[in-house]
Amino acid sequence: MGREGLDSRDVFIIIMTATTTGIAKSPSSSSSTSTASRTLANTTCGGDRARTILKCLSLIRTIFSSDDLFWFGQYKACANTYKMDTYPYLEVNPSAATWLTPWQMRKMPDVHWVQFNSDPQHYTLMFYDSSNSNVKGLYTNILENKLTISTNHKTISDGDGGGGEVIRYEGPVNFRNFSSPFLILLFLQEYTVDISTEWRRRFLKPVYRFLGNFTREYNLDGPVAVNWALVSTDLYATEQNRISNIVDNCPHYIARALAKHERTFIPPNLHLYVGLYVSFTSASITYQSCCNEYKSNATVVYLNPLANGTAKAVDTRSGVMPNITISFVPFDQHQMEEFRHSLFTLVMVDPDIPEVYHSLGNSTYPLIHWMTINIIGKELSTGEEVHAYIGPLPPDENPHFYYFVLLKQPRRLKKEDLEGFYSDCGEALKGRCLFRMRQFVQAKDLVFAGATWMAIENDNIILNISSYYK
């Protein structure tokens, strides 16, 4: 078939069946005007030719289905584990406000299309992520009407011909707070093509400047059919970008969760940009409490600020030092160098001291459990410990929240700089009581950089360790 003879009726329908995951609530967000839309301006299905684009859309149907027993699954992000609910079918409708999440689109779909023309034809299928202008999958020389991916990722197609996997499919990982179109573009080939090494290298970078050059060089007609899904962000995408050292938005989610706690020592409109991750490696212990013997097994506890954040006092007790990981993903090398030489203060406080112990702390002026100043970059060992770690000791039946806060310093601090920002109390807690944290932050020009927390309830080990509250 010649290029002049192409009619969109030759391609009747595209059906995508994909192994997807549970439906998470998508944020209410509007789609952005993408470079992909501009890229399509001079193609069969592109541009502002409303009738043409509507005609192309009428040929397309995209269905995500759950044919994998483990498709609902779970994933870990920002120190939290998310379990996904099931959803057997989800049909994409570009004319409706339908959002998918990166978690739902993480696996390669099977793509089918039915054509009226019986002549042998070859196609190129492209997946294009407009959020970063990257090609996320490219398959060429697809014969007839189907593309499937076998378990060993060798591309095959219906009929006698085989498709070629140029770029293995990767789902979108949009980390922004607005949705972006993820496009599925079908091109008709005049002949079989062999994509050069140079083009394979180019596709490793954003392609908005030379996508048209690619289609012209290989005489690709179209797109003869196009579909898209509006992709929101989710914590799965956030984690993928974090571990890839692209951007870390976990502090953003933690700041939003922290704002709901409404603590007076936490500033309004809090912005966090450093990941602060805390864990405890607790050895087994046998102890006496109220004339009874108790045993606690060895365990590792990871603080989870985006869930309930609960932990046991016995697992976070004094003597079990917190393991601190300070994480920062820079936008450029200059920002990384600046971070490496930055100074930080790490403080752990309890603002839930009951009224009966009012001399120790309260919701406005918390009790200090741990404090280290002059930490260089992410290396906790470079800091100066002002107050040694004391494990949680909630004396009442109500759970206490213990906050770990990382504060950026404009200059080095001295231990004497804390004087005047606490009240006298018992010798065991000297310098820790009624910490005027908000005033200290303001006076020393400190900036909130990272945070996390845990909730601890009274248990048997606390009944045996109560001297601090006297």
Q: Which domains does the chain have, with CATH numbers?
A: 8-238 (3.90.280.10), 248-469 (3.90.280.10)
* Tally of CB atoms within 10 A around 147: 25
Q: Please write the tens of the pLDDT for every residue from 232-258.
A: 999 999 999 998 888 899 999 999 999
CA–CA separation, 187 vs 125, rounded Å?
A: 6
CB 389 within 8 Å of CB 369: yes
90 pLDDT band, cuts 50/70/90, is low
12 pLDDT band, cuts 50/70/90, is very low
Whole-number pLDDT of residue 122: 87
Whole-number pLDDT of residue 332: 83
Mean pLDDT of the chain: 79
Whole-number pLDDT of residue 172: 92
CA–CA separation, 74 vs 85, rounded Å?
A: 9
CB 48 within 8 Å of CB 274: no
| Cα-based distances in Å from 208 to 132, 136, 222, 302, 376 | 9, 13, 16, 42, 41
What SS3 class is residue 437?
helix
Mean pLDDT of 52-73: 52
CA–CA separation, 183 vs 41, rounded Å?
A: 14
CA–CA separation, 174 vs 246, rounded Å?
A: 11
Q: Please state which of the ranges 114-123, 384-393, 438-447 shows the lowest mean pLDDT.
A: 114-123
Residue 468 has pLDDT above 60, yes or no: no
